[in-house]
């Protein structure tokens, strides 16, 4: 049964001191900022990314700020690398308490043009990569008989299709929502929470690349100005909610998708 934290001071509820977090895809974008907020709250953070040099640079930059960070090269589409990543976290820091499945991609394509290979690539990364990360994290948490939390970064595409042209992406993020519920129900009795954080369009290197490659300049600017809160997301908008979800502030929250969307889904 989850402990009753009534009366615990707020500083203690937010603190992640003594806990270890793995964040996938954290060499850049939303993942890098999540890693920084978790480290600022006191966690040891593993910067896991398929881009080895960028992961090391991010870990070095965080260490220079006196935060505890370790870079591990891992591609979440390779299950053996995900298992090795989980082992590396436990070996270096002694425990694994928080796992953030953030690595993901969001290509666009009209439905009728999506090839089998493109479909498989998106599902393999966004959905199976999230499953593999959750399973490997949960195995270590269960082995250590410690409570833990798994956070899956999904998208407003877990709820809507937005402008369309991304059936594989939309299916993957809807899938992450279902996976998150399954994790919550099966792992809750073992003291492991699972929830999902769903950003709207957010300014990251991946979006900058897409803006350039698909000539989306005005479309993206208009998108932000039409949101109730007047702009698209910044990585720190997402990271602050992930910190909440990872911390004991959210000790009684599991199995839900938390939109972080400037009002996108409400409008």
Residues that bind ligand NAD (CB under 6 A): 24-25, 27-31, 49-51, 54, 75-77, 102-106, 125, 153, 155, 199, 201-202, 204-207
Instruction: Give how far the C-alpha of residue 86 lies from the chain's centroid of Cα atoms, to the nearest Å.
Output: 15
Does 106 participate in catalysis according to the annotation? no
Least CB distance to ligand NAD at residue 191 (A): 26
- In terms of CB distance, is 53 or 143 closer to ligand NAD? 53
Tell me the Cα Rg of the chain: 18
Instruction: Answer positive or negative: Cα dihedral of 179, 253, 86, 27.
Output: positive
Least CB distance to ligand NAD at residue 200 (A): 6
- In terms of CB distance, is 24 or 247 closer to ligand NAD? 24
Instruction: Answer positive or negative: Cα dihedral of 235, 68, 70, 59.
Output: positive
Least CB distance to ligand NAD at residue 75 (A): 4
- In terms of CB distance, is 145 or 215 closer to ligand NAD? 215
What is the token pair recorded at 241? 């909610």
Cα(69)–Cα(46) distance, rounded to whole angstroms? Answer: 6
Least CB distance to ligand NAD at residue 100 (A): 10
- In terms of CB distance, is 148 or 262 closer to ligand NAD? 262
Catalytic site residue from 106, 169, 209, 223 = 169
Q: Which of 200, 190, 179, 191 is nearest to 258 (CA)?
A: 200
**Half-sphere exposure (Cβ direction) of 158: Cα atoms closer than 13 Å:** 27
**Active site members:** 169
């Amino acid at each position: 049964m989850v402990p009753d934290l009534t009366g615990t001071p707020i500083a203690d509820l937010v603190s992640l001191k003594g806990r270890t977090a793995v964040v996938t895809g954290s060499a850049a974008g939303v993942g890098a900022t999540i890693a920084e907020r978790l480290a600022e709250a006191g966690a040891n953070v593993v910067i896991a990314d398929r881009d080895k040099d960028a992961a090391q640079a991010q870990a070095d930059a965080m260490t220079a700020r006196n935060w505890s960070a370790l870079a591990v090269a891992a591609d979440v589409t390779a299950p053996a690398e995900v298992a090795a990543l989980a082992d590396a976290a436990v070996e270096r820091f002694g425990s694994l308490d928080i796992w953030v499945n953030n690595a993901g991609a969001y290509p666009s394509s009209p439905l009728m043009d999506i090839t089998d290979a493109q479909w498989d690539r998106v599902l393999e990364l966004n959905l199976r990569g999230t499953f593999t990360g959750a399973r490997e994290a949960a195995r270590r948490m269960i082995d250590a008989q410690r409570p833990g939390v798994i956070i899956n970064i999904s998208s407003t595409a877990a709820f809507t299709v937005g402008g369309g042209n991304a059936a594989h992406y939309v299916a993957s993020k809807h899938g992450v929502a279902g996976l998150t519920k399954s994790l919550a129900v099966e792992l809750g009795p073992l003291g492991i929470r699972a929830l999902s954080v769903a950003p709207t369009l957010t300014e990251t290197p991946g979006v900058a690349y897409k803006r350039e490659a698909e000539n989306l300049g005005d479309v993206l600017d208009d998108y932000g100005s039409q949101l109730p809160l007047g702009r698209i997301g910044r990585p720190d908008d997402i990271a602050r909610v992930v910190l909440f979800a990872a911390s004991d502030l959210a000790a009684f929250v599991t199995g839900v998708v938390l939109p972080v969307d400037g009002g996108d889904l409400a409008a």
